[in-house]
């Protein structure tokens, strides 16, 4: 959430959470499932270092 807040230009991650949490109510469960599969070796986690739109805007 902190990185997302930074990418969106929010000074405080609470603003991001209060604004967008309602559109992803199942996110905590999806994150737990993903992390469980990463820790058991079923999934390899590969994250982008930055978003393309942010790179283009910079």
Q: What is the pLDDT of residues 39-55, one digit of tens each?
A: 898 887 776 656 555 55
Tell me if 5 sits within 8 A of 12, measured CB to CB. yes
Residues in the chain: 58
Model pLDDT, residue 40: 92
pTM greater than 0.85 (yes/no): no
Model pLDDT, residue 12: 92
* Per-residue pLDDT tens digits for 14-26: 998 888 888 878 8
Q: From CA 10, how far away is CA 44, in angstroms rounded?
A: 30
């Amino acid at each position: 959430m902190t990185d997302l807040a930074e990418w969106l230009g929010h000074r405080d991650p609470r603003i991001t959470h209060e604004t967008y949490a309602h559109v992803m109510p199942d996110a905590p469960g999806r994150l737990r499932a993903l992390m469980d599969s990463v820790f058991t070796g079923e999934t390899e986690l590969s994250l982008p270092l930055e978003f393309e739109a942010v790179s283009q805007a910079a």
